[in-house]
Amino acid sequence: MKKATSSFLFSFCIVLFPFSADADSLKTFSGLAKASIKTVNVTAAASVKTVGDVCMDAAGFVVTTRQVTDITETGAISGGTILCGGSSAVTARGVCWSTSANPTTADSKTTDGTGTGAFTSTITGLTSGTPYYVRAYATNTEGTVYGNQYLFTPSRLPMICLVEWKQNGNVYTSVDGGSTWTTATTSGMGSGANAASIGILPNRTHIILVANSTGAEGLWFSTNGGTTFGSENTTYTAAYTAKVWVTSTTMYANGGADKSVWYSTNGTSVAKYVSDSSYYVSDVCASSNGQYLVRAGGYDASPVKRSVDTGANWSDASGISQAAYGCFMSSDGATVFVGTYNKTDMLYKSTDYGATFASEGRTSASAVTTFIRGSSDGKYLLMIAAGKTWVNNNYGNSANWIEVLTGVTTERMFPGGNVSPSGKYMILGESTTAGTYYFSDDFGVNWSTKTVSGVTATFFGCAVMD
Q: What is the DSSP track for 226-281?
A: TS------TT----TT--EEE-SS-EEEE-BTT-EEEEESSSS--EEEE--TTS-B
pLDDT digits (tens, 9 = 90+) for 279-325: 778 889 999 999 999 998 765 566 789 999 999 999 999 998 777 77
pLDDT digits (tens, 9 = 90+) for 33-55: 322 222 322 333 333 443 444 44
For residue 133, what are the β-bridge partners? 98, 151
CA angle (57, 59, 62) in 5-degree steps = 60
Quote the pLDDT of residue 132: 95
Domain 2-152 and domain 159-465 have a common topology: no
> How do residues 159-194 score in pLDDT, each as one tens digit?
999 988 766 678 999 998 999 999 998 876 655 566
Considering only CA atoms, which of 244, 245, 241, 230 is closest in space to residue 189?
A: 230
- Sequence spans of domains, the chain: 2-152, 159-465
Average pLDDT of the segment spanning 98-114: 97
What is the CATH number that goes with domain 159-465?
Answer: 2.130.10.10
CA distances from 344 to 296, 358, 364, 368, 421 (A): 17, 13, 5, 9, 30
- What is the rounded CA–CA span in Å between residue 401 and residue 255? 31
How many other CB atoms sit within 10 Å of the CB of residue 164? Answer: 26
Higher-pLDDT residue of 86 and 407 is 407
On average, the pLDDT of the chain sits at 80
Q: Which of 129-138, 381-390, 407-416 has the highest mean pLDDT?
A: 129-138
Q: 325 and 340 in contact (C-beta within 8 Å)?
A: yes
Q: CATH 1.20.1440.230: does it fit domain 2-152?
A: no
Residue 242: band (very low, low, confident or very high) from pLDDT cuts 50, 70, 90? confident
Averaged pLDDT for residues 57-75? 81
Give the span between the Cα atoms of 235 and 457, in whole angstroms.
Answer: 29
* Of 2-16, 181-195, 381-395, 431-445, the least confident: 2-16
> What confidence score (pLDDT) does residue 365 get?
55
d(CA 59, CA 94): 17
Task: For residue 403, give the amino acid letter.
Answer: E
